[in-house]
């Protein structure tokens, strides 16, 4: 079983061309971006050359020191999907129902909490 892990990566602002990106062994199949204040989250489905699929979850935040992006990434492999989904759902439910039942989480919906910062691109369209 593959482990789930995080890493801290500094990323340059220069973007890869689509041709450079397609030369890699990980093909992006699906991507969803969530902007949340000063952070952006990316949920990407990728495929290996052998058509095996995995998900990367990336948090990207611009560094004020040098203008680069600091990224934290989790690799989630198919054998862990159900366990991860269940644990995440239980954790969110616990916070919403047990710790903060009076808080209106709907006030932070995507439409209301959208931060437009066009300097950040897709999680893998920037040079590493």
Residue 27: inside a domain, yes or no? Answer: yes
Q: Is the pLDDT of residue 47 over 60?
A: yes
Q: Of 88 and 16, which is predicted with more confidence?
A: 88
Write the pLDDT tens digit of every residue in 5-46.
444 444 433 444 444 444 454 678 999 999 988 899 999 999
- Residue 52: give the domain boundaries: 6-101
Residue 126: inside a domain, yes or no? Answer: no
Per-residue confidence (pLDDT) for residue 1, from 0 to 100? 47
* Per-position DSSP letters for 94-119, written without gaps between them: HIIIII-TTS-GGGG-TTTS----TT
Residue 60: inside a domain, yes or no? Answer: yes
* pTM score over 0.85: no
CATH code, domain carrying 70: 3.10.450.700
Residue 35: inside a domain, yes or no? Answer: yes
Q: How many domains does the chain have?
A: 1
| Cα→Cα distances 17→72, 100, 107, 122, 126, Å | 22, 45, 38, 12, 9
Residue 128: inside a domain, yes or no? Answer: no
């Amino acid at each position: 079983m593959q482990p789930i892990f995080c890493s801290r990566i500094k990323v340059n602002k220069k973007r890869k061309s689509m041709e450079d990106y397609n030369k890699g062994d990980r093909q992006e199949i699906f991507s969803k971006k969530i902007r949340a204040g000063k952070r952006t989250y990316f949920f990407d489905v990728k495929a290996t050359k052998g058509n095996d699929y995995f998900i990367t979850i990336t948090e990207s935040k611009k560094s004020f020191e040098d203008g680069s992006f600091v990224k934290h990434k989790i690799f989630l492999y198919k054998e862990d999907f159900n366990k991860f989904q269940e644990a995440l759902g239980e954790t969110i439910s616990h916070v919403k129902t047990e710790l903060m039942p009076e808080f209106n989480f709907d006030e932070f919906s995507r439409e209301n909490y959208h931060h437009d910062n066009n300097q950040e691109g897709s999680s893998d369209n920037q040079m590493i």
